[in-house]
Amino acid sequence: MDNSFNKYFLEKKDIIDKALLGVLPKDNRLISKAMRYGVLNGGKRIRSILVLAAAEASGASYKNILEIALAIEIIHCSSLIHDDLPAMDNDDYRRGKLACHKKFGEDIAILAGDALLMYAFEILANNFQKYQIKSERSAKIMALLCEAIGSRGVILGQVLDMKSENKKISLKRLKEIHSLKTGKLMQVAVRIGAEALKLNTKQIKGLEKYALHFGLIYQIVDDILDEIGTKKELGKMPGSDKKKNKSTYISVCGLKKAIKLAEKEAEKAIESLKVFGPKAERLRQLIFFIKGRSS
């Protein structure tokens, strides 16, 4: 990956990290501490950088969309806290540190995940007021987001994923699970960003398609890393999918085919950016970045 993209990525990550620090509750209540821990304990900030890069591809400044990016990142962190709980993936570590429930206890971790979710919606609602986004548009954004993370989106993906443990599933089913569990949040991130920026239908369709393939590459690489990554790189124990007898791209189609699939998805993602021309360079580079990531 060329240096200019690395620089771009780190600059944007820094903007997000500082803004998250600024926006989260600052008091010393236990719940606030757990919320801060769940968000500020690391993280690549891929989803929020995706929102900013998508805005730039459409010719807008990332500044117009910063709060939307923060809300998406906070929702993602909330889902990670819940994902690590003993009743779900039962992981003791996240991002190289103790998982939220290991640090604060299960009760507080559950509530911190819930509170972060609510906090994300509060940030969005305040943002609509700040930018005087009309009520129909803000209601549409809220509805799109709720649908994407609720029982027809991320949460459904998580249920299907958990219920397919110890079962043999098809590649089609695996793709469905990950399009929901991982892809939906990425798709809705660019979708609501596009809605807030009032992009046209062609641009919205292009971004949604891009994010769908982006999500699939992300998950394929996640599965590959779980198979061949190290604890240091991943910030948690590798091999956790195998231990839980989970279907992954590796168990369903093998490492070689999984790598090929990621290549194919990358081609499709890049193809969907045609409508944006050269302005989409950062989005294109982001694909190579996530395909080559080691953490």
Which of 123, 155 has the CB closer to ligand GRG?
A: 155
Should residue 144 be labelled a site residue for ligand GRG when binding is judged by CB under 6 A?
A: no
* Angle formed at CA 96 by CA 92 and CA 101, multiple of 5 degrees: 35
Should residue 95 be labelled a site residue for ligand GRG when binding is judged by CB under 6 A?
A: yes
The minimum distance between CB 17 and ligand GRG, in angstroms, equals: 12
Which of 80, 273 has the CB closer to ligand GRG?
A: 80
The minimum distance between CB 277 and ligand GRG, in angstroms, equals: 28
The count of other CB atoms within 10 Å of the CB of residue 6 is 12
Could you tell me which of 71, 79, 63 has the C-alpha nearest to residue 122? Answer: 71
Which of 154, 250 has the CB closer to ligand GRG?
A: 154
Q: Applying CB under 6 A, which of residues 24, 34, 35, 46 lies at the interface with ligand GRG?
A: 46
- Give the Cα separation of 149 and 71 in Å (integer): 12
The count of other CB atoms within 10 Å of the CB of residue 216 is 24
Half-sphere exposure for 84 (CA within 13 Å, toward CB):
30
> b/e string for 152-169 if b means 16 or more Cβ within 10 A?
ebbbbbbebbeebeeeeb
Which of 127, 219 has the CB closer to ligand GRG?
A: 219
The minimum distance between CB 130 and ligand GRG, in angstroms, equals: 24
Should residue 80 be labelled a site residue for ligand GRG when binding is judged by CB under 6 A?
A: yes
Could you tell me which of 292, 291, 285, 218 has the C-alpha nearest to residue 2? Answer: 285
Q: Applying CB under 6 A, which of residues 44, 140, 173, 257 lies at the interface with ligand GRG?
A: 44
Q: Applying CB under 6 A, which of residues 68, 117, 186, 211 lies at the interface with ligand GRG?
A: 117
Q: Applying CB under 6 A, which of residues 181, 184, 284, 291 lies at the interface with ligand GRG?
A: 181
Take residue 3 and report the two structure tokens written for it: 């240096």
- 98 CB-contact burial (10 Å; exposed 0-12 / middle 13-18 / buried 19+): middle
Which of 75, 189 has the CB closer to ligand GRG?
A: 75
Total residue length of the chain: 295
Q: Interface with ligand GRG by CB under 6 A: which residues?
A: 43-44, 46, 75, 78-80, 82-83, 88, 95, 113, 117, 149, 154-155, 158, 181-182, 218-219, 222
